[in-house]
């Protein structure tokens, strides 16, 4: 919602929102053999942050996360998982929010609800890079993809949130086969292997990887991908969920 922060900013007491609870989303995309994450940059500041938001009193927490995700990517029905709750006292720092609001010409009172301590529920989402439409909110200059090896300095503990999300993704990649959400509907075995190697940050043996993937019984082989020579054309695959 483009005007969401304006409502939050002018609402000094936080009426209509669950007090002390926030959402931060790590939105992963895969492009050119690189795992990327979506970040916001705030107007008239040098601050970067994960897309996030707050929970309305009349909505579920998961519903709020899906709302944030749709607002920043334009996508629905994609893989979204709650992975950790960030609640250390040390994460509370009102300075970035003060900076953002002052950059908009608004000086908040010290007891403004946005300046108080928040516990944040972390979610990670896996999206098709080619389908996402990164969209900044009303207080952001941009909403852009950044490679994990080229991240700017992030506000508060958002770097730690990304690190935790990546470790969770790595741990679950085989167990839940969630990596397929980062690929197009049809893909080659090479595409799949490059994704795994990128997420796990290590090289995999081609023959062993192919045997493992086919042995899972969750891939359907399609027609060959035309590359100019029939003998070199790789098969296309798609993910088929088990009943």
* pLDDT tens profile 54-67: 999 999 999 999 99
State the chain's mean pLDDT as an integer.
90
* 231 φ/ψ sector (left φ>0, alpha ψ -120 to 50, else beta): alpha
Kindly report the CATH number assigned to the domain that includes residue 135. 3.90.79.10
Please indicate, yes or no, whether residues 213 and 126 belong to a single structural domain of this protein: no
> Which whole number is the average pLDDT over 134-161?
93
Please indicate, yes or no, whether residues 212 and 108 belong to a single structural domain of this protein: no
Q: With 50 as the cut, is the pLDDT of residue 5 above it?
A: yes
Q: With 50 as the cut, is the pLDDT of residue 213 above it?
A: yes
Q: With 90 as the cut, is the pLDDT of residue 200 above it?
A: yes
Q: What is the DSSP letter of 185?
A: S
pLDDT on residue 229? 57
The answer to whether the Cα torsion of 191, 197, 200, 205 is positive or negative is positive
Q: With 80 as the cut, is the pLDDT of residue 89 above it?
A: yes
Please indicate, yes or no, whether residues 134 and 198 belong to a single structural domain of this protein: no
pLDDT on residue 1? 39
Do strands 34-42 and 48-49 pair parallel, antiparallel, or not at all (unpaired)? antiparallel
Total-model pTM: 0.89
End residue of a domain, out of 149, 179, 209: 179
Please indicate, yes or no, whether residues 56 and 130 belong to a single structural domain of this protein: yes
Please indicate, yes or no, whether residues 72 and 107 belong to a single structural domain of this protein: yes
Please indicate, yes or no, whether residues 10 and 125 belong to a single structural domain of this protein: yes
Please indicate, yes or no, whether residues 89 and 56 belong to a single structural domain of this protein: yes
Q: With 70 as the cut, is the pLDDT of residue 202 above it?
A: yes
Domain count, the chain: 2
d(CA 106, CA 10): 9
Surface-to-core class of residue 162, CB atoms within 10 Å of its CB (0-12 exposed, 13-18 middle, 19+ buried): buried
Ranges 118-127, 180-189, 216-225: which has the least confidence: 216-225
pLDDT digits (tens, 9 = 90+) for 16-55: 999 999 999 999 999 999 999 999 999 889 999 999 999 9
Q: Look up the domain containing 139 and give its range.
A: 4-179
End residue of a domain, out of 133, 156, 179: 179
Closest CA to 52 of 96, 106, 11: 96
Please indicate, yes or no, whether residues 167 and 117 belong to a single structural domain of this protein: yes
d(CA 108, CA 97): 9
pLDDT band at 11 (very low <50, low <70, confident <90, very high): confident
pLDDT band at 140 (very low <50, low <70, confident <90, very high): confident
Ranges 67-71, 95-99, 139-143, 149-153: which has the least confidence: 139-143
Please indicate, yes or no, whether residues 192 and 155 belong to a single structural domain of this protein: no
Please indicate, yes or no, whether residues 150 and 174 belong to a single structural domain of this protein: yes
Please indicate, yes or no, whether residues 147 and 219 belong to a single structural domain of this protein: no
End residue of a domain, out of 179, 213, 231: 179
> Which whole number is the average pLDDT over 9-13?
85
Q: Please state at what angle helix 206-215 crosses helix 189-200, rounded to 10 degrees.
A: 100
d(CA 175, CA 182): 16
Q: Cβ(178)–Cβ(170) under 8 Å?
A: no
d(CA 48, CA 32): 23
């Amino acid at each position: 919602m483009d005007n969401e922060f304006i409502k939050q900013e002018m609402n000094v007491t936080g009426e209509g929102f669950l007090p002390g609870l926030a959402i931060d989303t790590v939105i992963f995309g895969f492009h050119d053999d690189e795992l990327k994450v979506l970040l916001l940059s705030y107007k008239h500041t040098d601050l970067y942050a994960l897309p996030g938001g707050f929970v309305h009193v009349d909505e579920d927490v998961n519903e709020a996360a899906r709302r944030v995700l749709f607002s920043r990517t334009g996508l629905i029905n994609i893989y979204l998982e709650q992975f950790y709750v960030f609640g250390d006292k040390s994460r509370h720092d009102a300075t970035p929010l003060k900076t953002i609001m002052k950059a908009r010409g608004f000086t908040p009172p010290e007891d403004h609800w946005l300046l108080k301590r928040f516990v944040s529920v972390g979610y990670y989402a896996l999206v098709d890079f080619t389908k996402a439409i990164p969209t900044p909110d009303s207080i952001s200059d941009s909403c852009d993809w950044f490679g994990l090896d080229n991240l700017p300095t992030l506000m508060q503990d958002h770097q730690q949130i990304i690190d935790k999300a990546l470790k969770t993704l790595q741990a679950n990649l085989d167990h839940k086969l969630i990596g397929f959400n980062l690929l197009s509907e049809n893909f080659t075995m090479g595409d799949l292997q490059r994704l795994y190697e990128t997420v796990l940050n290590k090289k995999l043996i081609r023959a062993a990887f192919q045997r493992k993937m086919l042995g899972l019984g969750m891939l359907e082989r399609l027609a060959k991908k035309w590359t100019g020579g029939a003998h070199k054309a790789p098969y296309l695959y798609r993910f088929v969920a088990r009943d």
